[in-house]
Structure 1
């Protein structure tokens, strides 16, 4: 009787552990757990970054990025129980540089077109501290690129893709990326929609094309960094740049207080970049295994 009772208790314990494991392995659960973990890391270190001087703030940002990546990898390894090829160290530097060059071309071309259409004029900021502006722009862009890409193209996309397929994952992350910026200065329904296309779709397409987060982080980083250096508001966040930007004409052209992302120009250019990326991903069969 004692043996039967012990065996029954052991079976019940195994069943409870099995249910508990299934709970943590469910995509929405590890997505939420990972997102909370990364946000907590950001919330703890970001205030220190903002208070620290010069290069110290940049070092703290690198620490923030490292810890956020560690949280992501631990969640994927122990909760999602999957490999992490999207953060493979092989070719990481090359992918990051390629992504950065893509972002530079995208923002530079968008800005030049708006200037030619009479939307922007630039004047060198004589009182700008070049070193300080560089550090602040790099630090802000780097932190945002790592944290946001780990959450959106990493956790959220992987979870939605696992449950509902690639196209649904791409659509959900794109829309949510725009919605997440609705509270920013100068934000409107149009700017949220525009950001969903030019950022959500472009970054999602870039991930599907290259199948790694380094490329996407590089693209996101150079995008924000160049805007900051030019003195253009980054999704409503203004900071001192190397230039003083004077805005002329309708907000549909200039983006208004929201900045470049609220303009129709980068929306069109991003689509011209995103569509070939998606085509390349499909043609090369470079889509996630559970593509539907």
Structure 2
């Protein structure tokens, strides 16, 4: 039986791991903004080389997160059939409704047409950005965020704490952290991200398959990322 000191140390270690993983999850986006400044003045072969190096680092981080999750999780990944995908898509439609209502309220109350997080992302798709930055950001948002954020805010916390505290507590705490990590500048935007976090957590726990919430997150981010990519391409042509 664990002593009180051992339990406390376990929680401390898990929290330190989550903090470290959070910073690691930010590396692809941070590198995309940094390399973009050099790529603007570089030749095409150098830009391609920069993009390849970024992609290698990005892939290594994804693999590390997945292996880390598989090491500590008792659930792992399950297959997603067509019926499962339909259910996830219905969750996504609910999320669209929440986002839509929240955005309207935010515009009425604060005069903001988008969240601060979205505004920051859109600047990284501006016509003044290099193609390397924009492509790296597209991959980060459409693929990286659904995998890394679902493991960081849903899968790994459940693997760490699922046997030690009620699942609803994990859902609320991780959703609060998820919202806090998305640059909420007013209570409505904070509630939007919190609600989306809870909805993704519910999607995950419905079948206890982290792949389901990753698919939800892909629906959420993928379309937005490719729309911003299209606007960028239209702007530079």
In the alignment, which residue of structure 2 is the partner of 1:91?
79
The 2-side partners of 1:103 and 1:215 are apart by 10
**Are the structure 2 counterparts of residues 228 and 241 from structure 1 closer, same or farther at C-alpha, using a change threshold of 3 Å?**
farther
The DSSP-based 3-state class of the residue aligned with 2:164 is helix
TM-score (norm 1): 0.51
More helix by share: 2
In the alignment, which residue of structure 1 is the partner of 2:166?
165
The 2-side partners of 1:92 and 1:29 are apart by 34
In the alignment, which residue of structure 2 is the partner of 1:267?
none
1:188 paired to 2:169:
no
Q: What is the Cα deviation at residue 202 of structure 1?
A: 1.0
In the alignment, which residue of structure 1 is the partner of 2:18?
35
**Are the structure 2 counterparts of residues 70 and 159 from structure 1 closer, same or farther at C-alpha, using a change threshold of 3 Å?**
closer
The 2-side partners of 1:153 and 1:66 are apart by 17
**Are the structure 2 counterparts of residues 113 and 200 from structure 1 closer, same or farther at C-alpha, using a change threshold of 3 Å?**
closer
In the alignment, which residue of structure 2 is the partner of 1:13?
none
**Are the structure 2 counterparts of residues 173 and 107 from structure 1 closer, same or farther at C-alpha, using a change threshold of 3 Å?**
closer
**Are the structure 2 counterparts of residues 168 and 102 from structure 1 closer, same or farther at C-alpha, using a change threshold of 3 Å?**
same
**Are the structure 2 counterparts of residues 91 and 107 from structure 1 closer, same or farther at C-alpha, using a change threshold of 3 Å?**
same
Q: What is the Cα deviation at residue 66 of structure 1?
A: 0.9
In the alignment, which residue of structure 2 is the partner of 1:5?
none
Number of residues of Structure 1 aligned to a counterpart in Structure 2: 198
Structure 1 contact 72–150 (Cα < 8 Å) conserved = yes
Q: What is the Cα deviation at residue 139 of structure 1?
A: 2.8
Gaps of 5+ in 2: 37-46, 108-112, 114-126
The 1-side partners of 2:234 and 2:87 are apart by 25
The 2-side partners of 1:41 and 1:95 are apart by 34
1:146 paired to 2:147:
yes
Gaps of 5+ in 1: 1-17, 77-81, 121-126, 233-238, 245-292
TM-score (norm 2): 0.60
Identify which of 205, 215, 220 aligns with 2:217: 220
The 1-side partners of 2:214 and 2:83 are apart by 9
In the alignment, which residue of structure 1 is the partner of 2:66?
69
The 1-side partners of 2:223 and 2:234 are apart by 11
Q: RCO greater where, 1 or 2, for CA within 8 Å and sep 6 or more? A: 2
- Please show how residues 222-237 of structure 1 align to structure 2 within 5 Å: 222-231=219-228
The 1-side partners of 2:30 and 2:101 are apart by 37
**Are the structure 2 counterparts of residues 241 and 205 from structure 1 closer, same or farther at C-alpha, using a change threshold of 3 Å?**
farther
**Are the structure 2 counterparts of residues 40 and 188 from structure 1 closer, same or farther at C-alpha, using a change threshold of 3 Å?**
closer
**Are the structure 2 counterparts of residues 20 and 105 from structure 1 closer, same or farther at C-alpha, using a change threshold of 3 Å?**
closer
CA RMSD of aligned residues (A): 4.6
In the alignment, which residue of structure 2 is the partner of 1:178?
179
Q: What is the Cα deviation at residue 160 of structure 1?
A: 4.7
**Are the structure 2 counterparts of residues 217 and 193 from structure 1 closer, same or farther at C-alpha, using a change threshold of 3 Å?**
same
The 1-side partners of 2:135 and 2:172 are apart by 34
**Are the structure 2 counterparts of residues 21 and 142 from structure 1 closer, same or farther at C-alpha, using a change threshold of 3 Å?**
farther
